[in-house]
């Protein structure tokens, strides 16, 4: 079985500059709108799970998650795809459990933290206090 190249794939921007997929994802998370456009442009041909997850979340295109799952060789990448899937399906309880477990195991996984921040900021999230009775 051939080994996977551990280096992130390079993505060229409109000016011909190349940057790693990891750097591109980091720029998206930092709020760089040019990087958002670059991720969405790269996603149709990318085999990088991080790029595909971010593109799926930004666009709502679930096909990117399917491709990300197929490309994910490492457990952390497979878990990131599962997080994005729960996020996009709106499965709040599952997402909460998965993201806590994932970040406990991989505290440096910035895309997972980004998903958690987006999830907690979602207007559809409501705080429910189980100890308070519903009247």
pLDDT digits 0-9 by tens, 17-42: 346 888 999 999 999 999 999 999 99
Q: Phi/psi of residue 19, each to 5°? A: -145, 155
Q: Helices 75-89 and 110-121 sit at what angle, rounded to 10 degrees?
A: 10
Given a cut of 70, is residue 130 above it in pLDDT?
A: no
Structure tokens at 81: 């795809």
Contact 19, 11 (CB under 8 A): yes
Written as one string, the DSSP assignment of 77-115 is HHHHHHHHHHHHHT-HHHHHHHHHHHHHH-TT-HHHHHH
* pLDDT for 39: 95
Residue 126 and residue 135: Cα distance in Å, rounded? 17
pLDDT digits 0-9 by tens, 46-87: 999 999 999 999 999 999 999 999 999 999 999 999 999 999
Residue 69 and residue 66: Cα distance in Å, rounded? 5
Average pLDDT, the chain: 81
């Amino acid at each position: 079985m051939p080994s996977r190249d551990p280096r992130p794939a390079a993505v060229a921007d409109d000016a011909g500059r190349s940057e790693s997929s990891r750097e591109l994802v980091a720029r998206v998370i930092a709020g760089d709108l040019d990087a958002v456009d670059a991720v969405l442009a790269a996603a149709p041909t990318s085999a990088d799970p991080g790029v595909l997850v971010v593109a799926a979340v930004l666009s709502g295109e679930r096909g990117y998650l399917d491709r990300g799952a197929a490309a994910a060789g490492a457990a952390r990448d497979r878990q990131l795809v599962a997080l994005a899937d729960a996020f996009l399906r709106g499965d709040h309880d599952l997402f909460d459990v998965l993201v806590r477990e994932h970040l406990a195991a991989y505290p440096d996984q910035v895309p997972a933290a980004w998903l958690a921040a987006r999830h907690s900021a979602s207007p559809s999230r409501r705080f429910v206090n189980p100890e308070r009775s519903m009247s």
